[in-house]
Structure 1
Amino acid sequence: MAFLMYGDPKVKYLCSCGSMKPISRIYFCRHCMKIKCGFCVSHEVDLHYCSNCLENLPSTEARLKKNRCGYCFDCPSCQISLNTRAVSQAVPNPDDPSKMLSKKSYYLVCAFCRWTSREASIPDQNVANGGWPEIDCPNSKRVAELVDHYQEISLQEKDEEERKKKYQVRPSYFHYAEKYGLSAALAKKRMGGTPQRETRTQQSALVPAVASEEVEELSDSVFIEQLELNKVTTIKQRLASPEIQPTVVSQLYPLHKSLLVKRSLRCRDCEHNVSKPEFNPSSTKFKIQLSAFYHVPDVKFLTCEPVFIGKRSELIITVCNPTQHQSSFKMHPFELNLGAKGSGDAEESAPGLKLCLPECARDAQFKINGTIKLPTTEFQLLPRDDTAEFDDSNKGPTFNDDPKVVVWRRGNKIALRMAVSPDADAEGVLSIGFVIEYSYVNTMTTLEKKEPQKVKLKTHILLRPGPIFKSSQ
């Protein structure tokens, strides 16, 4: 009895770096025509913005604000965005005390756990935006000293590297005199002052931290009073406020909302963008979006019979053409040979593939414990048409398909029937694979080729239909 296989997490594609990823997490570079995953592209930050108020900030200002929004807050109890709520209070009129005036005040409230800023003893504010008191970090002075100290060290190391590059050919007496400050030291000595290097050392002197073996003793209330878990903060709540690390609920304080980033992805081989979003924070569109499911054939499970050792099971998959051009594909056996030596065998069987994974990870994701009977014919796929699924006429070209292999055709999709069988010593989950060779129309124009070029590409696909059963009884 067949059962349905939902979703695509068990269908993985082989990236050019050697990692297996689902089609939703890989990209396709149209310039070098290779599949790229998140490790094969360089990530560049384009924009910092707040997800609540959608205010965008430049990188320098975001760094000064410690990547936090100055107007939006998160709940310290459940980390949900806080809302500003207004209340009206009757206050005496300063001109005529006998009359009362209605005055609005604002406080923060969480719509999920009902935490309010009044629980932290924060007074209500007269304005809705800004003006909330900030909590002081007890170690802010020490942290600032450490930051200044290491910035000065980094500048000195940078200066030394530039001097090494400058005098890399042949160091002379003047190089050592400039590096170690001999001339400045002699001039200071003649004038009765301190050498320049000693002055820098005194300015950058930092009192080191000293470890102490003495630990403060716990108070008697810890052993006498009964513990109430509702008043004690969790580990997540304490780590959300690293500057104070509150231990009780009454010490929780509103957290400034962290900024999010919009990033663009660039191919490491040809240095072209594969993904670039819009600059507007509220926009969900992309200027460049070269995801793999727009260019590479999409393989999905349709049905699969239960897999038993020593028995063939029927597997039905669908292949979809996501491009605007007619395509053809053909299936070949999974010829990627990964031995114990690493990527040497893989480069012989799959040219251009450079594995960068450890041996244990390669053995785990490329372990093939079954066989699959692939069709030998080449299949044609129509281009993608968004209106075809609403057309009931089913008018289109006819193909001479083998009914034993092709189950049905619908527009740019085709369903194929194949037989799979596990190995005699297989256990766990069935893992099979094949190579799909498809035609791709490259619309990128160059100086040599100004017209679209049709090329043949190959992609390794790994399938994991389901668990393996010992016997059918």
Structure 2
Amino acid sequence: MAYLFQPDYVRYVCSCGSVKPVSKIYFCRHCLKVRCGYCVCHEVDSHYCSNCMENLPSPEVRLKKNKCSNCFECPCCFQTLSTRAAPAPVRAGGNPSVEDTKSLAKPPPKKVYYLSCSFCRWTSRDAGIPDQFVATGGWPEQENPHLARIVALLEYHKILASRERQQSERKKFHPKRTYMQFEKFAMSSVMVRKRAGLCPLPQSQQSDYPQPAVASEEVEELSPDIFTQPLDITKITTLEQRLKHPDVQAEEINQLRPQHKQFLMKRSQRCRVCEHNVCKPEYSPQSIKFKIQLAAFYHIPEVRIVTCEPLRIGQTSELLLKLCNPTQHQTQIMLFPLSTSITPTTVTAAGTKEVDRENMQLGCESPNLLPSLVRQITVTEDPKPLKLSPQAEIILPESILILPPRDDAAEYDDTGDTHNFQDDPKLVVWRKGNKAVIRLLVKPNEDEQIEEGKEITVGFVMQYGYVNTIATLEHKEPQKLDLKIKLFLSIGKLVGST
């Protein structure tokens, strides 16, 4: 079962030239190409809190500074804080008489609430934060000591942005512009009329601008106790804790304050070439389903390394690979050298023929698909040169390997496979369901200076049959294609010759 823990041993070559494991790439059904994280556009669908699952639109998230108003995180270990209840302290008063005690009704016990971390046992009482009588909030927030300076700088840059916007629009249009165009910069019309002019401002208005920062050579002197007082590391904050709160950067643990939990986001990925979604989650944060999920391990056969004999220069080693068909259609797999062209071919009754580059985007220019609202220019970039070079020669078989479609019920069927494939006994070692183990021979290169203990990499081109079920005006029926993809495998380290 060692192949279950090898995510980076088998890497697929993306259309841009980068190499990624099959779990980190996508397959565009319209372009028939493999796309990695650099070949897709990332779009934010929704923001949500991972603790209370509050879902807010993007404008409100910006107003709240991308932080949840109800949830807090521990300043020490950054885990979510929970609200704990405790009995309110009883104030010391006079001793009433027995008759007065009987006549008065017993008041209900009062409770106070505080924040506590169940992981590191940090509480808000450790930081000196007073307890609250309401469990839903009201916790005092630590103010930024540089808040006035930050607000002044933000207001100043809004004015600069409005002026640049005005100058750029004046070059395009000659008619007079109104001041209502600056509302998008979150500025009122009165402020715009006051400060949006291009002429120099009067001396009375120049005072509104923030003063420029001036470097000072004066440095605060160290306390004399720093050399004599013993150092307690448990009371000093770590670098991660200080960078988590850059506005304060507390030096001691008792100066830390709970911070609001940041929002997470659900994002969708869109192909840069055809602008179709390859991954789109549900809008609701409680849902873990996907509207569109074109991950590569759902469409491309997965290759895993089962075992490999010790690699020695001049000797042939046996390599066992496990191939799995994740699709609902039967596929044929053939292995070719790395020098083979990876142009896709279509399977017809007359044979196979290459697919034109213009026809590869099966759904881009079809009239039955709605056009994109914001049409972008097609991104065509030359693939990056591969820096990987195989250090061993792999002997590839000439026979075809047939894998049946995926059947979830076959995983629990112990009666045996009902498929009768005429497999080559020298190639196929084991078969069950949509999986098969094949045997290959690997021989490290002798002409290269390969040091002992160096990782050996081999590569080949895998051709697999793919059935495209997208219905267009050109192809109303499922189209059978033969696609090719390059793979690089890290099969182990070189051992001694003896």
TM-score calculated relative to the size of structure 1 = 0.85
Question: What aligned pairs does 1:145-156 form with structure 2 within 5 A after superposition?
Answer: 145-156=152-163
Q: Which of the numbers 130, 135, 141 marks the counterpart of 2:137?
A: 130
Deviation at 1:356, TM superposition (A): 5.5
Change (3 A) 1:395 1:300: closer
Change (3 A) 1:54 1:4: closer
State the SS of the aligned residue for 1:119.
Answer: coil
Change (3 A) 1:450 1:102: same
Q: Which residue of 2 aligns with 1:190?
A: none
1:101-122 CA-partner distances (Å, limit 9, x unpaired): 4111110111111000001111
Counterpart residue identity of residue 222, structure 2: L
Change (3 A) 1:223 1:46: same
* Superposition RMSD in Å: 2.7
Q: Which residue of 2 aligns with 1:107?
A: 114
Question: What aligned pairs does 1:331-346 form with structure 2 within 5 A after superposition?
Answer: 331-335=335-339
Q: Which residue of 2 aligns with 1:259?
A: 263
Q: Tell me how far apart the structure 1 counterparts of residues 52 and 92 of structure 2 sit (CA, whole Å).
A: 35
Q: Which residue of 1 aligns with 2:459?
A: 433
Q: Does 424-433 or 62-71 show the bigger shift?
A: 424-433
Contact 2:417 2:433 survives alignment (8 Å):
no
Q: Which residue of 1 aligns with 2:246?
A: 242
| 1:198 maps to 2:218 | no
Deviation at 1:199, TM superposition (A): 3.3
Q: Tell me how far apart the structure 1 counterparts of residues 208 and 397 of structure 2 sit (CA, whole Å).
A: 73
State the SS of the aligned residue for 2:390.
Answer: coil
Deviation at 1:226, TM superposition (A): 1.2
Q: Tell me how far apart the structure 2 counterparts of residues 195 and 334 of structure 1 sit (CA, whole Å).
A: 65
Contact 2:15 2:383 survives alignment (8 Å):
no
Q: Tell me how far apart the structure 2 counterparts of residues 159 and 371 of structure 1 sit (CA, whole Å).
A: 65
Q: Tell me how far apart the structure 2 counterparts of residues 198 and 464 of structure 1 sit (CA, whole Å).
A: 67
Q: Which residue of 2 aligns with 1:367?
A: 389
Question: What aligned pairs does 1:58-73 form with structure 2 within 5 A after superposition?
Answer: 58-73=57-72
Contact 1:82 1:110 survives alignment (8 Å):
yes
Q: Does 457-466 or 223-232 show the bigger shift?
A: 223-232
Between the two proteins, the alignment pairs up a number of residues equal to: 429
Change (3 A) 1:414 1:165: farther
State the SS of the aligned residue for 2:227.
Answer: helix
Deviation at 1:160, TM superposition (A): 2.4
Deviation at 1:389, TM superposition (A): 1.3
Counterpart residue identity of residue 372, structure 1: I
Deviation at 1:93, TM superposition (A): 12
1:211-264 CA-partner distances (Å, limit 9, x unpaired): 111111111111221111111111111111111100011101001111100001
Q: Which residue of 1 aligns with 2:411?
A: 389
Change (3 A) 1:204 1:122: closer
Q: Which residue of 2 aligns with 1:348?
A: none
Q: Which residue of 1 aligns with 2:193?
A: none
Give % identity: 50
Q: Does 416-425 or 4-13 show the bigger shift?
A: 4-13
Contact 1:307 1:422 survives alignment (8 Å):
yes
Deviation at 1:395, TM superposition (A): 4.2
Deviation at 1:154, TM superposition (A): 2.0
Change (3 A) 1:315 1:196: closer
| 1:142 maps to 2:114 | no
Counterpart residue identity of residue 437, structure 2: A
Deviation at 1:155, TM superposition (A): 2.4
Q: Which residue of 1 aligns with 2:438?
A: 416
Contact 1:84 1:106 survives alignment (8 Å):
yes
Deviation at 1:324, TM superposition (A): 0.5
Q: Tell me how far apart the structure 1 counterparts of residues 472 and 3 of structure 2 sit (CA, whole Å).
A: 46
Q: Tell me how far apart the structure 1 counterparts of residues 4 and 290 of structure 2 sit (CA, whole Å).
A: 31
Deviation at 1:397, TM superposition (A): 2.5
| 1:325 maps to 2:329 | yes
Contact 2:325 2:406 survives alignment (8 Å):
yes
Q: Which residue of 1 aligns with 2:471?
A: 445
Deviation at 1:367, TM superposition (A): 2.1
